[in-house]
Amino acid sequence: MCANKDLVSFELPRSLSRGAMRFTQTALGFALLAVGHSDVTVPSTSDALRYIGRFDHQLEGSRFDRNGCEIQFDVEGVSQVKVQVSQRLTAPYSSPWSPVGSQPHHFLVYVDDEPLTTPIPGSVCGYCTFDTNNIANETVTEYVVATGLSFGVHHVRIMKTSEPEWNTREPSPNWITLHGVSVDTGRIEPPSKPRRKLRLEFIG
């Protein structure tokens, strides 16, 4: 769990109705934003992040390439979520078999299991939340992947939906590295939903 140490925590009265509780949480969230608190960031090594799929975890970040890989976490008291990623790019070159070189990766973000299918500004993908079409080689780039959240608890999933560049005759290194996740205020917590016990992996 990560929280701004400068915040004063207190518990809302239990006698409040659900509607009043939601209104109070929202008002408190906007009040925190108004006083200019800095972003709350957790690194890729944080226990608040759950990884689904094959990842190569290093101190500088968690690398992955396969479609279907996910990063999951919960947020509370947050209106905006951002991720910091980089991409290993391979310059295009001529090949007798097919076009060779790195391609943009696409990601679909879910908030409370609802997909965010309108691409953010600068992305050219279709059914996605954001892509890496403007990223530079091995350069950490920040993307705002969710905005306008109410200040309650939300479950966030970030799924890579594009395929890796290892399925052609001449593969191109094209992996993604997650460096961290940031929110504008509030906190990032481990997912409250339990990890699924049964999983399938298809090869070939």
* Residues in a beta bridge with 101: none
How many Cβ atoms sit within 10 Å of the Cβ of residue 63? 17
- Looking at residue 33, what is its pLDDT? 47
Asked whether the CA dihedral 161, 164, 167, 169 is positive or negative, the reply is positive
* Six token digits for residue 130: 């954001």
Distance set, CA 160 to CA 13, 47, 183 (Å): 41, 20, 20
Alpha carbon 165 to its chain's center:
21
Contacts of 39 (CB under 8 A, 6+ apart): 82, 182, 183, 184
* CATH topology for the 37-189 domain: Jelly Rolls (2.60.120)
* Residues in a beta bridge with 82: 144, 182
- Looking at residue 169, what is its pLDDT? 67
Q: How far apart are CA 73 and CA 87, in angstroms?
A: 22
Say if residues 156 and 81 touch (Cβ distance below 8 Å). Answer: yes
The residue with tokens 């409370």 is 112
**pLDDT > 70: percent of the chain:** 75
pLDDT tens-digit profile, the chain (204 residues): 444 434 333 344 445 455 554 544 444 444 444 455 579 999 999 999 999 999 999 989 999 999 999 999 999 999 999 999 999 998 776 666 555 667 899 999 999 999 999 999 999 999 999 999 999 999 999 999 999 999 999 999 999 999 887 656 667 788 999 999 999 999 999 999 888 887 777 776
Backbone angles phi, psi at 86, to 5 degrees: -135, 165
- Looking at residue 185, what is its pLDDT? 94
- Looking at residue 141, what is its pLDDT? 98
- Looking at residue 24, what is its pLDDT? 47
- Looking at residue 36, what is its pLDDT? 53
Closest to 111 in 3D by CA, of 69, 71, 146, 161: 146
Break the chain into its structural domains and give their ranges: 37-189
CB half-sphere exposure, 105, CA atoms < 13 A: 30
Say if residues 182 and 41 touch (Cβ distance below 8 Å). Answer: yes
* Mean model confidence pLDDT for the chain: 83
- Looking at residue 1, what is its pLDDT? 42
* Six token digits for residue 82: 């951002």
